[in-house]
Amino acid sequence: MWAEYQGEGKKASLTIRSHFSAAHRLAPNLSAEKYGKCTRTHGHNYHLEVTVEGEMDSRTGMIVDVRALKKVVEDHVLELFDHSCINEDIPYFAESQIVPTTENISRYISDLLQSPIQKLGVKLSQVKLFESDQLWVEYKGNGSETFFNVATDFSAAHRLAHPDLSLEKNKQIYGKCARINGHGHNYHLEVTVKGEIDPVTGMGVDLGGLNQIIKNSVIEPMDHGFLNKDVSFFAQVVPTAENIAFYISNTLRSPIQQLGAELYKIKLVESPNNSCEIYAADLDQTSVNAAVKQLELAAV
């Protein structure tokens, strides 16, 4: 359980975590040839996060009775889903052609929770459902719109040094990171795609196509490489976490659009103490700002 406050009066949000174990299969609307094992009955330990919004009570300092909120999730979701075969045991999926993808499951959970949470005096703002630590969906109650997330990793070396500055000046700016022979990280990458749930496939984006794009455009050229030398973009641009995330965003935006979805966000974790997020909608302005900063740095 955790809370977030954005500085807006007494308004705050509260998120609670829970989990359930269930089986499903991505059938009958998905091709076994294209989606392989996922069209067979299999299972997951689903991780569920439910976020509500409300006004902090001046007496209790809380926006909602946490025990009541947990009971709502237990009664309306966990009792239904836990240790079930979603295709067969849950009427919403068993009696229709709705495929129990993570997108459709998160949307249905949101529908189940809307009314009972409203009766607690708060608003359901988001359902976040993890199928695994590499795939999850955020559903905010906006019709068929979902935010689909995939995570992957790559290992790479880099050196933080602007080519137009002296070694001494680069060391003043970047410290150890400017050492001549570079250093490395295990990068963790999260790609968030916004899309409408397809009524036939139940997906907000072609997962196979998305994974292939990330592999071809990011993982293959960057994994086990020296970014300054092996990726032409970084021959003149310092490969900070910010610039790497910016490069990945620009690289992925067009091919994801060709899949019929929209790149929403890139999150790049460089180390346990350092991560960066870039929102694709801000890319045009970010591009201008990045160019200006590079020119300013070169002139120092």
Q: Is 188 a catalytic residue?
A: no
Q: pLDDT tens for residues 155-202?
A: 999 999 999 999 999 999 999 999 999 999 999 999 999 999 999 999
Alpha-carbon gap, residue 262 to 249, rounded angstroms = 11
Given 42, 83, 183, 224, the catalytic residue: 224
Residue 115 has pLDDT above 80, yes or no: yes
Q: Are strands 42-55 and 84-85 parallel, antiparallel or unpaired?
A: unpaired
Q: What per-residue confidence (pLDDT) applies to 297?
A: 46
Q: Is 83 a catalytic residue?
A: no
Given 177, 242, 276, 277, the catalytic residue: 177
The number of helix segments (H) and strand segments (E) in the chain equals 12, 11
Residue 72: pLDDT band (50, 70, 90) is: very high
Residue 284: pLDDT band (50, 70, 90) is: low
Encoded tokens for 157: 């070396």
pTM over 0.85? The answer is yes
Alpha-carbon gap, residue 232 to 229, rounded angstroms = 7
Encoded tokens for 222: 């960057």
Alpha-carbon gap, residue 174 to 242, rounded angstroms = 14
- 241 by DSSP, 3-state: which? helix
In the DSSP assignment, the letter for residue 28 is S
SS (H, E, C) 142-179: CCCEEEEEEEEEEEEEECCCCCCCCHHHHHHHHHHHHC
Q: Is 224 a catalytic residue?
A: yes
In the DSSP assignment, the letter for residue 30 is S
- 33 by DSSP, 3-state: which? helix
Strand partners of residue 23: 43, 85
Residue at 272: amino acid letter:
P
Q: What per-residue confidence (pLDDT) applies to 292?
A: 39
Encoded tokens for 30: 């998905």
Q: pLDDT tens for residues 228-266?
A: 999 999 999 999 999 999 999 999 999 999 999 999 999
Question: Exposed, middle or buried by CB within 10 Å (0-12, 13-18, 19+), for 131?
Answer: middle
Residue 20 has pLDDT above 60, yes or no: yes
What one-character-per-residue DSSP string does 113-128 give? HHHHHHTTTSEEEEEE
- Please check whether residue 266 is in contact with residue 278, taking contact to mean a CB–CB distance below 8 angstroms: yes
Residue corresponding to tokens 């309306």: 76
Given 49, 138, 262, 270, the catalytic residue: 270
